[in-house]
Amino acid sequence: MMTLIAPTAAILLLFAAVASAHVSVVPAQSSTGAWETYTLKVPSEKAVATVQVDLRIPEGAAFKQYESTPGWDVTIEGNKVSWKTTGEGIQAGQFQRFYFTVQNPAAAGELAWDAYQHYADGSLVEWSGEEGTETPHAITAIVQAAVGDSHSHDSMNMDGDESMVTDEQKSSSSTSPIVYIALVAALLALVLAIVAVFRRRNV
């Protein structure tokens, strides 16, 4: 039974790692016109370090400010915001969060965050594909604000880190169905293993 469970567990961990390895932007939902503090999370998937990340601010959104990150320089060119390391960068198996504030569009819709991840070996991963592709861009749904709603997140708020973590926990990943499929496969393999053991005993 263990010979069946071990490979299944390995597959489950692999699917979970893939699902969490994408560059993401949270929260996944915000309101029209709000000054929202977004979190760009960048994991390093290769054996070499990530040394630069470029993020395109979607059309209709207005970049306002960013929170400085030790070890990283920030440049802004039009709708492109770039974080470039001044040190070793994001090492393999690590991730880095970058915080910035954007004023959302006045109209409801979706913001597609195209990101470009540069590695120390000169390779580039473009997180600009549609949902379901290997390198999808993050999506934020912009919903119509309620009348009198003055919702906004200030990056200088003392509770900012806690609120951003909460937003990230609540946001849904575009690859989350993969995790559920992996869990079902693991449970099915476990059931089959137990059935096989009982059959052997009966024989």
pLDDT at residue 194 greater than cutoff 90: no
Look at the chain and count its residues.
203
Q: What is the pLDDT of residue 118?
A: 98
pLDDT in tens, 119-140: 999 999 999 999 999 999 999 9
Contact between 40 and 72 (Cβ < 8 Å): no
Dihedral angle of Cα 124, 130, 131, 132, to the nearest 10 degrees: -80
Q: How far is CA 46 from the centre of its chain?
A: 16
pLDDT in tens, 145-183: 987 664 555 543 434 444 444 444 444 444 455 556 666
d(CA 99, CA 7): 38
Q: What is the pLDDT of residue 186?
A: 72
pLDDT at residue 6 greater than cutoff 70: no
Report the pLDDT averaged over residues 94-109.
Answer: 98
Categorize the per-residue pLDDT at 21 as very low, low, confident or very high, splitting at 50, 70 and 90: confident
